[in-house]
Structure 1
């Protein structure tokens, strides 16, 4: 129980330290941490769907092992925290800060102070920051592309050092503080990031999510995407070649005026066949007519010359030839044919000239009979018929010869076209087959991509990052302050506890009794100052009364009671205590005699001890010896040695100790030797110069008697349920 009381008093003694020291430390921590930047935290979560998402394997009833599932999630964590991903985030974040930042005003992208810090240190790459467009998103993309183009693996390259150097917010050290973890055994990744700039925190997570999705897509679908991209490029190239070949073929057909080569060549062949038949037919008619005409002319002899030299005959004969030629042209060149009315007119004109020619012959009467007197009417008629037929055949042959040249031109035109068209159509056919082959391969790659997508995760942001409005520094600030206060409180307790354990100063009753092994009989306080100095006399009176009351219990009847005041060292306060207890006993009616070595005239202290005879101090005239008290003050044991006779033939031995000084091993040795010499005579300690709290252990509650001190004293004495009010019933 005394230990509990001691610890309660121990805490009471250091109460001011327990109140002031932790408060001072807490205030210092609060002041220091209040100047530190406040941290803002933003969180988001991404659903991966790798384990529980629908895919071909799950639909087929095939399940993956927990090891495979863990490896898949680890791959995602490694992707999102890899240097490749964080480096892209770094450059994109830097570009966004440079484009959207404002040196005079905070915004949702970056604080003005941080923008100025980053902007001023990047003077060498200010020319890469593009703000030419009205749309900041375009400026950001252009700036990012400029940074990528400018970067080289050179330590002197500033863009290369954006991620490598100690540039805050965008370097590796800052971005590696992004906390990414899997929530339990689910498909969800939780991402958290803290920084002293809320805008940078928010924008970093936005860019990280986008870049993570790109990196994941590139790694997961990169090979298939490359194949698809290759096929698409090849398809575009071959498609262009095919279009060029088709355009070349079309232009060639237009240039050569060929719509359907096969049909047109068939038509040309048919025309040539008809031409050949007509030509041989006309030639045959021409030859036949010419032969008959010649034969008839031979029979007619001179008459034919007369006829041929006749102007009218010649006129109409020429007209018939001209009209026959025009009709032949109209017959064999239908494309150039004039309308049907002129053809009919030519036929009518031809008939008119035929009749005119016949009439011209009829007017030549001398031609009706030959020299022999034979009639020539039938011969002339036949000859005229053959002449007309001859002229017709001659005109047709003339026209057919012209058509022969035209047909030759047709053959010359169509002959090279065939081989050229075949060549060009073959090129078109080859390009078309190549185009279809690449198209089939592209479709197969697209199907494979879709298959991979069904068997892979579809990343989806469940909880998008939010712009942090409240910093985490407030709660941390309070926690740090509270923690500092508790730590300082614990440190103070342990510090004073260690001092209390190791300290050899007899500053209180418990410590004095523990170190010396003897009981404390009285305690005198030191002279207090300031507000408590008015209680100095009261404290001395209470201490003296308590010591005298305790001393009386050791007095012996029917003899003088001698009290020895001893100390180990000079200056312990024996003279002061002797005066106080002498005055107290005198006030109580005792006959008090004071003996002090300081009042004698011996040359040294040891002479006072040797010359002292306690028996001579008894006065035979005194009838009541019990009312006589002799108080003897001895020199310090350090300066003189006491004898056993002096210590044993008394009522009480009081060793006065200055509670402010260290109780050394030599002091304990002297005290032990003194106690041995006292034998059965009581030897007690009297503590001098103690604090008021220590004096209350012996003297009880000392003034002032306010409520607070009464409460603390009651708690120190473990009077938890006590009622200290005096009873009214006497």
Structure 2
């Protein structure tokens, strides 16, 4: 499909391409013309994920782009989480329900009324006020209203009595156009009686104080006041200020000239935002300092002209002195206690979670425009501001107050949830390691306590030093024992030798009782000496006793020597050695022998003691080693858990530092509605309608398999195109087109007969008009051809069929003759069998052409043998028909029985499809203009570049 055909399609369906977009645009305009206004606001939150300060910031770290994106995705998904949206919706509902009257900063009057209309009584009873809810709250409200009425009546009575005592006239009685006030000059108290139309905010603006101060001074429960109620207003008037009551006809300019002050000062001091004054309003005017001529009289109406010198510091505006009628209220509405609000939120939350069929659950999960989860999600948007640490949260609603408050609550809930999430990430880890540290510390304490008890039970001060000392003592004892054994052996050998030499002569002396007793005593003393020497390190008293024993031993030795000297002084041995020397030597060896024996006995006992000590100390070492190993393992485990605990605590603190996100830009109160998108939607609808219609037209054209133009019919039938007939449009001169196409078709017929025919044809030429389908216009085409031939003077016979009996009598041989189709029709072999002979030849009349029309060959039988005599078979096809398999099969059969190949004629063709056949179709001025425009547009595509080679 080329551009030319696309333009033709657009031209043919131009009405649809214009009408449908206009209709869709009209529908969109009708549905969007009364579209509600929307207001939008935004809040910007600083997260500090990438560049914020934390504990880890003190150390060098690289910014991970991937992890940073994940953290921002977590933040965005947390804002869009159902829990965050649920908490936001519940808080917003609690905020609006808690209001006593509509407040534009929270909810408009219409939405407030609609909310109270749909909220049932049992849900309203969940609202907490002054710590009470339900019936108890309603009773308290009734009592409070009654108390206010009584107080107002008492004040009115008191005011009247005071007026009567002052002379029957009250200075406070003024006209109906002025507020009813009474000034108590003793304490600067003003009694104001509420008039119809006045509100708490208008009264506060009148006296230039805040509404909260009036509520506190009068113990009001909310911001509602009743007509006739008397309010006490306490306001300390500065000493340099005075009051001026606005009189009829006065303006800000006249009052400024009266008190010789500036208009801006009066506006600033009284919070005036326009020059409109209400009669009876009290304006606070700053007193003027005395001038050279005296004081300014505030009671006279005069104009004073003087030069005023302005101090630059005084010219600066102190915005803190301005008090707006509506302040930037927090999330909790005014006059609502903080604990009451959060108790209301808790009640709504518990009620919401109680079932999935309660009112709040349905309100949040259906399609409410303000409180449903779907609405809040669809109207909110969360975006990261470029690649910074900021997040922009936007929201739009049809109520500016709800828009701002929803953003406030959403930001507050998000920050709270994010902080809890970040802290909970490490809470379990910190708790785990803290529990493990406590368990490890308990195990370490238990092991150390067991070591202490073990040392106490076994008298161990320092096991390793004690065991080392015992081993050294054991080695010394073994060496001492070995030396004593040597000494005993040498003394024993010497005694045996001396006994041999002194056996015969000296036995009398040796057996002396005195000497033996002395020797026995020496042995006992020597044993005691050795015992005491071993124990002298542990007891000082033993050391003193040891000295005495040694002295006694020396004394006894001296006595023995004296006795021996007396015995041996007269004798000698057999070898000639004096007996005295032998006896002395014998005595010394005997003493040595006795001493060695005593020493060995003591040392033997001492070795047994060491053996017992070793038996005790040997298992103590293993047990001590086990306890020390348990202590080491417990201490190592304690230190590891303590380190992990410190790391977890540091990570927890780092998370707390990094989770302290802040609101940079608070959500603003939208004053202007968003630009309407109705015009854009109308334009989009029109463009969409145009393109969808164009798309459908192109698709239908592309997938259309009908034989709607000459090229497609030749391609489908594989036959030569003889001609085409158009759809004759009303209001157009169709004679030229019809005549020209008829002439072209006759030209193809004659060309086929004279040049393209396989067999030689003779007059009359038999032209067969047939089709595969019904109602294709065979008779119309045949009639046009016959009339054209007759206009040329040709003799033409037209044989048409009928399935009923017809009368064939007639004298007009140049007209249409109808033949009957019966059961013998298929057996006809020649054209003469269809007619009586006198109709074919009468008065030697000869025909030039015979046109034979047969019924649709798919639905009817036809004479096969007659087809062999046809000179020109013409297949008539309607342009909006489809060429099916049945048509192909029928045409194939016809080609088999016909001697000439059929030609095809396309009937009811659109004029634009005839450009391939004829291109001089006359057009009106508008169509001519379109053709010129088409020529200009398609000119670049028709250019041909030819390179000339020389």
User: Which category of TM-score, normalised to the shorter sequence, fits these structures?
Assistant: 0.5 to 0.7
Query: Is the Cα–Cα contact under 8 Å of residues 91 and 162 in structure 1 kept in the other structure?
Result: no
Matches of 1:609 and 1:710, distance apart in 2? 56
Deviations 1:311-342 (A, max 9, x none): xxxxxxxxxxxxxxxxxxxxxxxxxxxxxxxx
Deviation at 1:179, TM superposition (A): 3.6
Deviation at 1:564, TM superposition (A): 0.7
Unaligned runs of at least 5 residues, structure 1? 224-447, 724-730
Matches of 1:157 and 1:649, distance apart in 2? 89
2:344 matched to which residue of 1?
Answer: 147
1:594 to 797, 800, 807: 797
Matches of 1:180 and 1:719, distance apart in 2? 50
Query: Is the Cα–Cα contact under 8 Å of residues 422 and 659 in structure 2 kept in the other structure?
Result: no
1:118 matched to which residue of 2?
Answer: 115
Map 1:310-459; keep pairs closer than 5 Å: 455-456=657-658, 459=661
Deviations 1:580-612 (A, max 9, x none): 22332344x442322324555755473895342
Query: Is the Cα–Cα contact under 8 Å of residues 90 and 162 in structure 1 kept in the other structure?
Result: no
Map 1:58-73; keep pairs closer than 5 Å: 58-61=57-60, 73=72
2:371 to 164, 167, 170: 170
1:565 matched to which residue of 2?
Answer: 768
Deviation at 1:671, TM superposition (A): 2.0
Query: Is the Cα–Cα contact under 8 Å of residues 508 and 695 in structure 1 kept in the other structure?
Result: yes
Matches of 1:579 and 1:518, distance apart in 2? 23
Deviations 1:69-123 (A, max 9, x none): 56765665566455665444324422444467988xx956445554343221124
2:722 matched to which residue of 1?
Answer: 521
Flag the 1:457–1:720 CA change in 2: closer, same or farther, 3 A: same
Flag the 1:594–1:196 CA change in 2: closer, same or farther, 3 A: farther
Flag the 1:148–1:534 CA change in 2: closer, same or farther, 3 A: closer
1:577 to 762, 767, 781: 781
Map 1:24-423; keep pairs closer than 5 Å: 24-25=23-24, 27-28=26-27, 31-32=30-31, 41-61=40-60, 73=72, 76-77=75-76, 80-81=79-80, 85-98=84-97, 107=104, 109-110=106-107, 113-124=110-121, 125-126=123-124, 128=127, 132-133=222-223, 137-139=333-335, 144-145=341-342, 147-148=344-345, 150-151=347-348, 152-153=350-351, 154-155=354-355, 167-177=368-378, 178-183=380-385, 186-214=388-416
Instruction: Give the secondary-structure state (helix, strand or coil) at the position aligned to 2:733.
Output: helix
2:886 matched to which residue of 1?
Answer: 666
1:380 matched to which residue of 2?
Answer: none
1:654 corresponds to 2:874: yes
Flag the 1:534–1:168 CA change in 2: closer, same or farther, 3 A: closer
Residues paired across the two proteins, number: 481
Query: Is the Cα–Cα contact under 8 Å of residues 101 and 112 in structure 1 kept in the other structure?
Result: no
Query: Is the Cα–Cα contact under 8 Å of residues 565 and 574 in structure 1 kept in the other structure?
Result: no
Deviations 1:472-510 (A, max 9, x none): 744762575257426623652365237613xxx544323
Unaligned runs of at least 5 residues, structure 2? 130-220, 225-325, 426-649, 756-760, 802-815, 943-950
Query: Is the Cα–Cα contact under 8 Å of residues 506 and 663 in structure 1 kept in the other structure?
Result: yes
Deviations 1:20-58 (A, max 9, x none): 445545544554566666665543321222431244543
Flag the 1:20–1:67 CA change in 2: closer, same or farther, 3 A: closer
1:546 matched to which residue of 2?
Answer: 744
Matches of 2:419 and 2:854, distance apart in 1? 99
Query: Is the Cα–Cα contact under 8 Å of residues 8 and 716 in structure 1 kept in the other structure?
Result: no
Matches of 1:86 and 1:657, distance apart in 2? 68
Deviations 1:375-394 (A, max 9, x none): xxxxxxxxxxxxxxxxxxxx
Query: Is the Cα–Cα contact under 8 Å of residues 90 and 170 in structure 1 kept in the other structure?
Result: yes
Flag the 1:12–1:144 CA change in 2: closer, same or farther, 3 A: same
Flag the 1:714–1:675 CA change in 2: closer, same or farther, 3 A: farther
1:512 matched to which residue of 2?
Answer: 713
Query: Is the Cα–Cα contact under 8 Å of residues 101 and 115 in structure 1 kept in the other structure?
Result: no
Deviation at 1:192, TM superposition (A): 2.8
Matches of 1:222 and 1:653, distance apart in 2? 94
Structure number with the higher helix fraction is: 1
Query: Is the Cα–Cα contact under 8 Å of residues 654 and 686 in structure 1 kept in the other structure?
Result: yes
Flag the 1:694–1:710 CA change in 2: closer, same or farther, 3 A: farther
2:912 matched to which residue of 1?
Answer: 693
Matches of 2:55 and 2:738, distance apart in 1? 98
Report the aligned-residue RMSD.
5.0
Query: Is the Cα–Cα contact under 8 Å of residues 180 and 191 in structure 1 kept in the other structure?
Result: yes
Query: Is the Cα–Cα contact under 8 Å of residues 18 and 493 in structure 1 kept in the other structure?
Result: no
Query: Is the Cα–Cα contact under 8 Å of residues 563 and 632 in structure 1 kept in the other structure?
Result: yes
Deviations 1:222-246 (A, max 9, x none): 99xxxxxxxxxxxxxxxxxxxxxxx
Matches of 1:9 and 1:169, distance apart in 2? 52
Matches of 2:25 and 2:714, distance apart in 1? 38
1:704 matched to which residue of 2?
Answer: 923
Query: Is the Cα–Cα contact under 8 Å of residues 543 and 695 in structure 1 kept in the other structure?
Result: no
Matches of 2:864 and 2:656, distance apart in 1? 109
1:632 to 840, 851, 869: 851
Deviation at 1:168, TM superposition (A): 4.0
Flag the 1:217–1:580 CA change in 2: closer, same or farther, 3 A: closer
Query: Is the Cα–Cα contact under 8 Å of residues 826 and 861 in structure 2 kept in the other structure?
Result: no
Instruction: Give the secondary-structure state (helix, strand or coil) at the position aligned to 2:52.
Output: coil
Instruction: Give the secondary-structure state (helix, strand or coil) at the position aligned to 1:46.
Output: strand
Instruction: Give the secondary-structure state (helix, strand or coil) at the position aligned to 1:700.
Output: coil
